[in-house]
Amino acid sequence: MPTNFKDLPFGLEVEFTGMPRIRAAEICAAYFGTEVEKDRSQKYSRGNQRYHVKDEQNRIWNLVYEGSVFAEPSRYSCRVELVSPVCRYEDLTRIESLVMVLKQQGTMKVNPSCGLHVHVDGALFDARTLRNLVNLVANKEALLYKSLQVDGKREQSFCKRMNREFLQAVNRQKPDSLESFRDIWYNTLKGASERPEQTRYYGLNLHSFFANGSMEYRMFNGTCEPERIGAAVRLSLAMTAQALNREEIRYRRTKPAQEKAAFGAWLSQMGLSGKEFQKTRRLLLENFEVKPDALELDLKKDLAKEGGLKQMM
């Protein structure tokens, strides 16, 4: 039975600055009607203290230090990452509302150093469907990075594009087990033997899958706009589900003449179409230019429709 992307559990890491971590924790606690708890599992310097906040379902949301964030104001305590618990699709509206409260009641802000990471449960994956996901992301990578306007510095450091040596090895060897897949990942990526965790800095982070069981999509720029966070989650869930549902996705390097049309068609193919996903599509398609010949084609189609209607009247 096909996997519905709305059934996949997910989690979020939202990096931001603009206020101290304790203030963000207090706002979250007030939103959920609970209390802020200090993490006492280890000793922290004052600026690195992490906080826990429980929601109505007793799930824990963490406010932690994120060293890659450029703090505004320049204090360690203003380097903030909100880490969600495992969430379901029905939680998405609540998450968007929480971000809006952080923005309105606090001074939440982002800058180019901030990222948004979406984790999707990988329990349903085997070697075949994992290769599907790798090829899917590789096939759509140029369009994805253009759609998301990935910050150049982040792309070079924290969310790099697919490693070509890894991609070629996966498609040449076609691993039949997750163990073999894991070996290819760590054997082809530079520095993995000494520090495996360093392989996480890719747009599609499979270290997260091999270490923790979740796919991590790291290519999203930081944002404090709730609708953009929702769009990032929906896109991540839809890509994951498509990889699980397709029998085979092969790696093909293509450059569509009409990028916006191609990306829009792909979104529809994954189920992101219709009124329900209108805002998501608008946000994901806004950075593509429509070429003049595409506009002319659309105009001809509209005129043809009008002519047909006149004949029917």
The arithmetic mean of pLDDT across residues 221-239, rounded, is: 98
* 3-state SS assignment for residue 202: strand
pLDDT tens digits for range 249-294:
999 988 888 999 999 999 999 999 999 999 999 999 999 986 555 5
Tell me the pLDDT of the chain averaged across its residues. Answer: 92
Query: How wide is the angle at C-alpha 103 spanned by C-alphas 144 and 81, nearest 5°?
Result: 65
Rounded to the nearest 5°, which phi and psi values hold at 116? -130, 125
Kindly give, in sequence order, each residue whose CB lies less than 8 Å from that of residue 53, ignoring residues fewer than 6 positions away. 25, 28, 29, 32, 34, 35, 36, 37, 60, 61, 62, 63
Side by side, which strands form the sheet with 36-38? 36-38, 51-54, 60-65, 80-83, 10-16, 115-121, 214-221, 204-205
pLDDT over 80 (residue 307): no
Pairing of strands 115-121, 10-16: antiparallel
Kindly give, in sequence order, each residue whose CB lies less than 8 Å from that of residue 13, ignoring residues fewer than 6 positions away. 81, 82, 83, 84, 115, 116, 117, 119
Q: Write down the pLDDT at residue 300.
A: 53
The helix-helix angle for 92-105 and 21-32 (nearest 10°) equals 130
Tokens at residue 23, please? 């203030």
State what percent of residues in the chain have pLDDT above 70: 91
- Residue 160, Cα to own-chain centre: how many angstroms? 14
pLDDT tens digits for range 71-88:
998 899 999 999 999 999
What pTM does this model have?
0.91
The arithmetic mean of pLDDT across residues 56-72, rounded, is: 96
pLDDT over 80 (residue 311): no
Q: Write down the pLDDT at residue 299.
A: 47
Tell me the fold of 5-259.
Answer: Creatine Kinase; Chain A, domain 2 (3.30.590)
pLDDT tens digits for range 236-253:
999 999 999 999 999 998
The arithmetic mean of pLDDT across residues 127-148, rounded, is: 98
**Termini Cα distance of the chain:** 46
Q: Write down the pLDDT at residue 196.
A: 77
Q: Write down the pLDDT at residue 41.
A: 85
pLDDT over 70 (residue 310): no
State what percent of residues in the chain have pLDDT above 90: 83
Domain ranges of the chain: 5-259
The arithmetic mean of pLDDT across residues 292-306, rounded, is: 50
Q: Write down the pLDDT at residue 261.
A: 96
What is the signed CA dihedral for 14, 199, 191, 125, rounded to 10 degrees?
Answer: 160
Buried b (16+ CB within 10 A) or exposed e, 271-282: bbeeeebeebbe
pLDDT over 90 (residue 308): no
The arithmetic mean of pLDDT across residues 226-235, rounded, is: 99
Reported confidence tier of residue 47, pLDDT bands at 50, 70, 90: confident
